[in-house]
Chain A
Amino acid sequence: AQSVSQHNHHVILSEAASLELGCNYSYGGTVNLFWYVQYPGQHLQLLLKYFSGDPLVKGIKGFEAEFIKSKFSFNLRKPSVQWSDTAEYFCAVMPISSGSARQLTFGSGTQLTVLP
């Protein structure tokens, strides 16, 4: 079965600092990749996704992620964080296989705290 690792459990940054959150997955086949964000007390919202094509994908709120197939990684980046980016970030992987519904496997999440 596939697994997703987010090695940073809690990241604390000051405003305007650059952000990179790591995500590695274990699955040998083709995958779709996602980053979701969960603001305090709220539900998961899609930040960005990679299905195919350009491995550098841009999402909402200035976030981007790069898919590096050889490293099985899909790290999330933002050049300058804001206090409002304080949230928990989840990486998720969906193996592509036959069947009409596909399952997401989530990482354990990274809590980002941005200090004003």
Chain B
Amino acid sequence: DAGVIQSPRHEVTEMGQEVTLRCKPISGHNSLFWYRQTMMRGLELLIYFNNNVPIDDSGMPEDRFSAKMPNASFSTLKIQPSEPRDSAVYFCASSPTSGTGDTQYFGPGTRLTVL
């Protein structure tokens, strides 16, 4: 299996621009998670989906952030408008719901820089 796929791997944008991060979970996994990693705050869970439905978005920092999962194989995290403090590495992870259902497998991350 190819693992969790994220794109782009690096994104540099200017303040005020819209940014869209993409994630393809491992095939057959039912849960998908978006995390943000910064030096100051470490790894934070932003939102997670189960069977394409958002379950908990309490970690989403502001209304500027939104996430969607239109189908089982694709999710997006959008920031609009972006701000310099959004600069971070954004990880997507997925997990199955049976067997080792509690193990999350992480993608390579998207390093976002907002100038």
Contact = CB atoms under 8 A, between A and B. Distances in A.
Given A44-B43, A101-B95, 13 more contacts: A32-B102, A34-B103, A43-B91, A43-B108, A46-B105, A90-B43, A100-B50, A100-B51, A101-B48, A101-B49, A105-B45, A108-B42, A109-B42
Given A49-B103, A109-B42, A103 B109 contact: no
Contacts of B49: 101
26 contacts: A32-B102, A36-B106, A42-B108, A43-B106, A43-B108, A44-B43, A44-B91, A44-B93, A46-B103, A90-B43, A99-B55, A100-B30, A100-B31, A100-B97, A101-B30, A101-B31, A101-B48, A101-B49, A101-B95, A103-B45, A103-B56, A104-B33, A104-B45, A105-B45, A109-B42, A109-B43
Given A101-B48, A106-B43, A43 B109 contact: yes
Interface in B86-115: 91, 93, 95, 97, 102-109
Contacts of B95: 101
Interface residues of A, number: 23
Contacts, number: 49
Interface of A: 32, 34, 36, 42-46, 49, 51, 90, 94, 99-109
Q: What 8 A-B pairs come out closest when comparing CB atoms? A: A101-B50, A106-B43, A44-B106, A101-B31, A43-B108, A108-B42, A43-B106, A32-B102
Classify chain B's interface size: 20 to 34
With most chain A CB atoms within 10 A of its CB, the pick from B42, B51, B107 is B42
Nearest to B102: A32
